[in-house]
Amino acid sequence: MPPKLCTNLVLILLAASVAAARRHPSPANSTASGKPVYLWPLPKKFTSGSRTLLVDPDLALHPNGPGGRAAAVAEAFERYRSLIFSSWAHAARNASGGYDIAELTVVVASADEKMELGVDESYTIYVAAAGGVNSIVGGATIEANTIYGAIRGLETFSQLCVFNYDTKNVEVLHAPWYIQDEPRFAFRGLLLDTSRHFLPVDVIKQVIDSMSYSKLNVLHWHIIDEQSFPLEVPSYPNLWKGSYSKWERYTVEDAHDIVSYARKRGVHVMAEIDVPGHAESWGNGYPKLWPSPKCREPLDVSSNYTFEVISGILSDMRKIFPFGLFHLGGDEVYTGCWNVTPHVRQWLDEHNMTTKDAYKYFVLKAQEIAIKLNWIPVNWEETFNSFKENLNPLTVVHNWLGPGVCPKVVEKGFRCIMSNQGVWYLDHLDVPWEDFYTSEPLAGINNTAQQKLVLGGEVCMWGETADTSDVQQTIWPRAAAAAERMWSQLEAISAQDLETTILARLHYFRCLLNHRGIAAAPVTNAYGRRPPTGPGSCFIQ
């Protein structure tokens, strides 16, 4: 059967069963075999059948190919096996026959473990019974070019496995499966803000785990801002005196730990040092960085010392953050303090600069430091809006102010990341999941060469009003909606219906997140992170 027809049939099946799911599910309709299988985000191509296969709780990894034996693959397999088989309690041994799937073969073509933006994340999954139609061998296979593709494949495979409450076995329904998948955009980000509220390392790790469940792959770590400076900087050890308290800090080793944890899950960490605005906290340890004790932002542009400190920070960070992109901020720069502080005013006059010139000077000078350290600078869009002609051509422009920015950015030949605050700011609780889902990074860009300059997008979890107690339910499930927009193919997601098929799948994914210990909020509340309004099933709230 042609794949497309199969896909459509599966979608029809989903649509039909969703109608049932949206009502209070009937208890009589409680058999495993009728249930549809929901995958999130939607893979590029997939076909399925009608058989049910049993999965062995002692599922073994059979690595293959030059990259199959990588430690990261074995570790990822162990993690996913735990997720699929939540302890001995769930899966009883199948006394009679054997298991259809006792082995998961993972074939990785390349042994190269370099993880850069744009690394090949494609994978293929085959699941079939031995001797069945469309299969040569029984069991399950994941094939990928890189270990990161294999990790993405493991996530999808884990979503194929469901627990049968009657037989107490884990099963793959609707086999045989053939899935071929790869992301639409290479940059699928989530911003986490640890300045407005300190987030313990363990919480950051949980966020990274949850990202990997929806295939988000860049953690944009907005480490520092006005309110606090929590990270250790060995070159300038007083900087973290700007932390909220002596316990709300990250050591250099903690940062390494986070990067390494993320890497194992195929997640890049893009660090941000926002300059020259949003930097008041720097002066707690080094008051010279403030224009004056009474006027503390932006950083003092007139002083070489400022750039020495930036250089020290970046050098220290180069040893921690291997990702090719580094974010230098540059947003919301209110230059009033430069004007009113005498020595800065004098410096501006001497250099024949307006404050706007000085802003440009600051950003470009910081960019040079990053570029010398072999980084590609990312800057918030005000830098582009204010002085695009002078912006370093390597710059990736990060849109946030509103819609319609990336088209202008790519027209000028710059790369772009979309985070339009009207639709992708998670701290905007009034933005519903539908808006997260339907926002299109390529909106208004028709030229294919220019489309390629859009690296992807990012949802932003600003921390002013979110802390450890509620950050995860503010992020999820709305971030998942955007995650599918960034991963899945445009045609496939446009073909689905928001309020039936997509909603059912998102409901299912939200409940899956809860099962995996991620505090994803109810889907259908009017506002983000609100509690459920009354008793009810996870699948309809």
Partner 1 sequence: MAQVLTVRLLLAFLAIGSCIAVEVTEHIDLWPMPKSVSHGTQRLYVSKDITMSMQGSMYSDEKEILKDAFQRVVDLMKLNHVVDGANPSSSVLTGVNIVVHSLEDELNFGVDESYNLSVPTVGDPLHAQIEVSNLTANSSSLQTFSQLCYFDFTSRLIELISAPWKISDTPRFPYRGLLIDTSRHYLPITEIKKMIDTMTYSKLNVLHWHIVDAQAFPIEIPSYPKLWNGSYSYSERYTMSDAIDIVRYAEKRGVNVLAEIDVPGHALSWGAGYPSLWPSDSCKEPLDVSNNFSFGVIDGILSDFSKVFKFKFVHLGGDEVNTSCWTATPHIKKWLDDNHMNVSDAYRYFVLRSQKIAISHGYDVINWEETFNNFGDKLDRRTVVHNWLREDVAPKVVAAGLRCIVSNQDKWYLDHLDATWEEFYRNEPLKDIDNPDHQRLVIGGEVCMFGEQIDASDIEQTIWPRAAAAAGN
Q: How far is the CB of 203 from partner 1 (least distance, A)?
A: 9
What minimum distance in Å lies between the beta carbon of 88 and partner 1? 8
Out of 86, 354, 465, 494, the only residue in the binding site for partner 1 (CB under 8 A) is 86
Residue burial 39-58, b: 16+ Cβ < 10 Å; e: rest: bbbbbbbbbbbebbbbbbbe
Q: How near is the Cβ of 235 to partner 1 at its closest, in Å? A: 17
Q: How far apart, in whole angstroms, are the C-alpha atoms of residue 56 and residue 63?
A: 17
Does 30 bind partner 1 (CB under 8 A)? Our answer is yes
Residue 524 interacting with partner 1 (CB under 8 A):
no
By beta-carbon proximity to partner 1, the closer residue of 338 and 436 is: 436
Among 303, 339, 500, 514, binds partner 1 (CB under 8 A): 514
Q: Which residues pair with 272 in a beta bridge?
A: 222, 327
- Interaction of residue 93 with partner 1, rule CB under 8 A: no
**Selected range binding partner 1 among 26-34, 47-55, 121-129, 216-224, rule: CB under 8 A:** 26-34
CA distance 281 to 275: 12
CB atoms within 10 A of CB 421: 16
Least distance to partner 1, CB of residue 358, Å: 32
Q: What's CA 326's distance to the chain center, in Å?
A: 16
Is there binding between residue 201 and partner 1 (CB under 8 A)? yes
Q: Which two tokens stand for residue 209?
A: 């785990």
Identify which of residues 155 and 232 has a Cβ nearer to partner 1 in the complex: 232
Binding status of residue 13 toward partner 1 by CB under 8 A? no
Cβ(399)–Cβ(383) below 8 Å: no
Q: Is 256 a residue that touches partner 1 (CB under 8 A)?
A: yes
| Cα separation, 69 vs 147, whole angstroms | 9
Among 2, 98, 293, 534, binds partner 1 (CB under 8 A): 534
Hey, how many other C-beta atoms are within 10 angstroms of the C-beta on 332?
14
Q: Which is nearer to partner 1, 55 or 486 (CB)?
A: 55
Residue 535 interacts with partner 1 (CB under 8 A)? yes
**What residues contact residue 384 under an 8 Å CB cut-off, 6+ apart?**
391, 395, 397, 405, 408, 409, 412, 414
Task: With H, G, I as helix, E, B as strand and everything else as coil, classify residue 207.
Answer: helix
Member of 420, 473, 496, 501 binding partner 1 (CB under 8 A): 473
Asked if residue 264 binds partner 1 (CB under 8 A), the reply is no
> Residue 404 has what DSSP assignment?
S
**Contact status: 465 vs partner 1 (CB under 8 A):** no
CB of 473 to partner 1, least distance (A): 4
Contact pattern from residue 160 through residue 199 relative to partner 1, giving x for each residue in contact according to CB under 8 A and a dash for the rest: --xx-x--x-------------------------------
Name the residue type at position 168. Answer: K
Residue 434 burial by Cβ neighbours in a 10 Å radius (0-12, 13-18, 19+): middle
Other CB atoms within 10 A of residue 481 CB? 27
Q: Single out the segment in contact with partner 1 by CB under 8 A; choices: 70-78, 352-360, 470-478, 493-501.
A: 470-478
Least distance from C-beta 90 to partner 1, angstroms? 7
Span from 83-91, 178-186, 336-344, 441-449 in contact with partner 1 (CB under 8 A): 83-91
Contact residue for partner 1 among 104, 211, 466, 520 (CB under 8 A): 520
Instruction: Return d(Cα 272, Cα 537) in angstroms, integer.
Output: 40
Minimum Å gap between C-beta 522 and partner 1 is 7
- At 337 the three-state DSSP class reads helix
Q: Does 241 bind partner 1 (CB under 8 A)?
A: no
Q: Which residues contact 79 (CB under 8 A, 6 or more apart)?
A: none
Return d(Cα 156, Cα 146) in angstroms, integer. 16
Name the helix (H) or strand (E) containing 193. Answer: strand 187-193
Active site residue 155: no
Q: How far is the CB of 8 from partner 1 (least distance, A)?
A: 25
* Complex with partner 1: residue 202 or 491, whichever CB lies closer: 202
Q: Quick check: 120 binds partner 1 (CB under 8 A)?
A: no
Tell me if 87 contacts partner 1 by CB under 8 A: yes
Binding partner 1 by CB under 8 A: which of 261, 361, 387, 539? Answer: 539
Residue whose token pair is 């489309």: 451
Does 249 help bind partner 1 (rule: CB under 8 A)? yes
23 forms part of the interface with partner 1 (CB under 8 A): no
Answer yes or no whether residue 246 interacts with partner 1 by CB under 8 A.
yes
First to last CA, the chain: 37
Of these, 93, 319, 452, 515, which contacts partner 1 (CB under 8 A)? 515
Rounded Cα distance between 110 and 145, Å, is: 6
Mention every residue, 6+ apart, whose C-beta is less than 8 A from residue 338: 291, 298, 301, 302, 344, 345, 348, 355, 358
Catalytic hit among 226, 332, 434, 440: 332
Minimum Å gap between C-beta 155 and partner 1 is: 18
DSSP 482-534: HHHHHHS-HHHHHHS-IIIIIHHHHHHHHHHHHHTT--PPPSSSSSTTPPPSS
Question: Hey, what are 146's tokens?
Answer: 């890189």
The residue to which tokens 């999808």 are assigned: 156
Contact code string over 35-74 relative to partner 1, x by CB under 8 A: x---------------------------------------
CB of 420 to partner 1, least distance (A): 26
Query: Backbone phi, then psi, for 106, in 5-degree steps?
Result: -120, 115
Q: Which residues lie near partner 1 (CB under 8 A)?
A: 24-25, 27-32, 35, 86-90, 92, 162-163, 165, 168, 200-202, 232, 246-247, 249, 251, 253-254, 256-257, 469-470, 472-473, 511, 514-517, 519-522, 529, 531-539, 541
Catalytic positions: 332
